[in-house]
Amino acid sequence: MIDQFSKEIHKEIHKIAREEREYVADLVQRLVRIPSPSCEEGAVISLLEHEMKGLGLPEVFTDSIGNVVGRFGSGKRVILYDSHVDTVGVGDPACWKTEPFAAVRRDDIIYGRGASDNKAGIACMVAGLKILARLAREGDFTLYVAGIVQEEACEGLALAALLEEKSIKPECVVLGECTNLAINRGHRGRAELEVVTRGVSCHASAPERGENAIYKMTPVIEGIKWLAERLAVDPFLGKGSIAVTSIDCATPSLNAVPELCRIYVDRRVVPTDTRETIAREIDEIARFTKGEVRITEYSRPSYKGFAGKREKFFPAWTVEEDSPAVTRAQETYQALFGERASVGKWVFSTDGNYSMGIARIPTIGFGPAEEKHAHSADDQVRVDDLWKSAAFYALFPFVYSS
Ligand SMILES: [Zn+2]
């Protein structure tokens, strides 16, 4: 339950957050104006480092992969906030109504690439630190705010690198990914598979002399369609899915039988689809075709040259609605805004696949903006979401540790 101390400070935090409304809106605009595709986040990290150093925090640092972290407090209960600072590309600029990196503010909405996913999140978390610095009161918590790199390319990779390198052991992680101010408590996971069949090339005028690698792939594709109808369903997260997303082949010419065929498969998983059950599916496919099947691997050096590597299996995860993290988040929201937050899930995958899915650290999401605007040419965030999120981020550690 929320104690008397937290009750007193929630009004103060609410007031300071309102006063910081323009600060956080301006910070979102400054962040959006610096393009930061995955592995090119250096400039945006520098801005955040400078911003957090200006708040007089006891510790601000960047780690080896290039995440930026600010710490507030030194109490027993360790909480980590995570928002990523990289974005996807802009796609066709003609689809945008505003210039993607102009961060246009119109009718109290800020538009631009990364506004929703996830620059508003990191701006609000930094604003939360500013509120805490202004409040000048410490609770029995240590709060780390992390601006994470390479999430769009390989979610979880850079968060894992941070926790391992710095031996930070949070008991709760809060993701700033867009939730439209709801409390999210899970999402499906995913795996990326590559299947290869090999044949024997020959002149296409006499195909019987060779073995067509594409024909060998046909039963694999049929098998995947068969499997798609039979995947596990989770009562909260919904059904797993599987889809062939790419096909190509190696052939000496358009008058030759191809010697190699390759497909990529996107597999969305629910919590009962573990790394082991996916491995069994893979074995099944391999037996079926004598093909080569593997989970693909991500390895791209960070902007600092750190060579992270991760197999592309990202587990699904949920935390219970009555878990301490969700309950404390609900109390925080209620104290600030006088009503209950809705509780939901993401359709997309986040760093939570590592924090909860692998490291088993209770993880929730709370953030500004709507998931439907993420990665779209209509990328945007409402300014009113910003100060509210900042207030939530400032109060939550007090409620959690009380
Ligand atoms: Zn995101």
pLDDT tens string 101-158: 999 999 999 999 999 999 999 999 999 999 999 998 989 999 999 999 999 999 999 9
- Kindly tell me if the per-residue pLDDT of 1 is higher than 60: no
Averaged pLDDT for residues 341-352: 96
**What would the pLDDT profile of 83-117 be if each residue is shown by its tens digit?**
999 999 999 999 999 999 999 999 999 999 999 99
Rounded distance between C-alpha atoms, residue 122 and residue 119, angstroms: 5
Averaged pLDDT for residues 223-236: 93
**Secondary structure (DSSP) of 224-274:** HHHHHTT--EETTTEE-EEEEEEEEEE-S-TTB--SEEEEEEEEEE-TTS-
| Residue partners of 250: CB distance under 8 A and separation at least 6 | 213, 258, 259, 260, 262
Distances from the Cα of 339 to the Cα of 175, 232, 331, 386, angstroms: 21, 35, 9, 18
108 Rama sector, left if φ>0, alpha if ψ -120 to 50, beta otherwise: left
Q: Residue 299: how many CB atoms within 10 A of its CB?
A: 11
Q: What is the bridge-based pairing of β-strands 260-269 and 109-111?
A: unpaired
Rounded distance between C-alpha atoms, residue 378 and residue 381, angstroms: 10
Distance 175 CA to ligand 1 centre (A): 9
Indicate the residue type of 207: P
Q: Hey, which residues are catalytic here?
A: 86, 151
Given this model, what pLDDT does residue 7 score? 63
Given this model, what pLDDT does residue 5 score? 61
- Kindly tell me if the per-residue pLDDT of 269 is higher than 60: yes
Counting DSSP H helices and E strands in the chain, the numbers are 10, 21
Give the pTM: 0.93
- Kindly tell me if the per-residue pLDDT of 319 is higher than 90: yes
Rounded distance between C-alpha atoms, residue 114 and residue 381, angstroms: 9
Given this model, what pLDDT does residue 3 score? 58
Radius of gyration of the chain (CA): 23
Percentage, residues of the chain above pLDDT 70: 98
**Secondary structure (DSSP) of 320-363:** -TTSHHHHHHHHHHHHHHSSPPPEEEESS--THHHHTTTS---E
Given this model, what pLDDT does residue 285 score? 78
Given this model, what pLDDT does residue 13 score? 98
**What would the pLDDT profile of 371-400 be if each residue is shown by its tens digit?**
999 999 999 999 999 999 999 999 999 999
Percentage, residues of the chain above pLDDT 90: 91
Given this model, what pLDDT does residue 213 score? 95
Averaged pLDDT for residues 292-320: 95
Given this model, what pLDDT does residue 138 score? 87
Distance 217 CA to ligand 1 centre (A): 34
Count CA atoms within 13 Å of residue 301 on its CB side. 4
pLDDT, averaged across the chain: 95
- Kindly tell me if the per-residue pLDDT of 284 is higher than 60: yes
Q: Which of 18-22, 51-55, 293-297 has the lowest mean pLDDT?
A: 293-297
Distance 181 CA to ligand 1 centre (A): 15
**Secondary structure (DSSP) of 75-90:** -SEEEEEEEE--B---
Distance 350 CA to ligand 1 centre (A): 6
By the 10 Å C-beta count (0-12 exposed, 13-18 middle, 19+ buried), 292 is classed as: middle
**What would the pLDDT profile of 170-209 be if each residue is shown by its tens digit?**
999 999 999 999 999 999 999 999 999 999 999 999 999 9
Given this model, what pLDDT does residue 286 score? 74
Indicate the residue type of 160: A
Distance 117 CA to ligand 1 centre (A): 5
Helix (H) / strand (E) element for 161: namely helix 157-166
Distance 335 CA to ligand 1 centre (A): 27
Distance 54 CA to ligand 1 centre (A): 26
Distances from the Cα of 362 to the Cα of 137, 185, 283, 330, angstroms: 26, 9, 32, 15
Rounded distance between C-alpha atoms, residue 192 and residue 179, angstroms: 25
Q: How confident is the model at residue 4 (pLDDT cuts 50, 70, 90)?
A: low
Distances from the Cα of 70 to the Cα of 67, 122, 391, angstroms: 10, 11, 17
Given this model, what pLDDT does residue 373 score? 97
- Contact yes or no for 287/241 (Cβ under 8 A): no
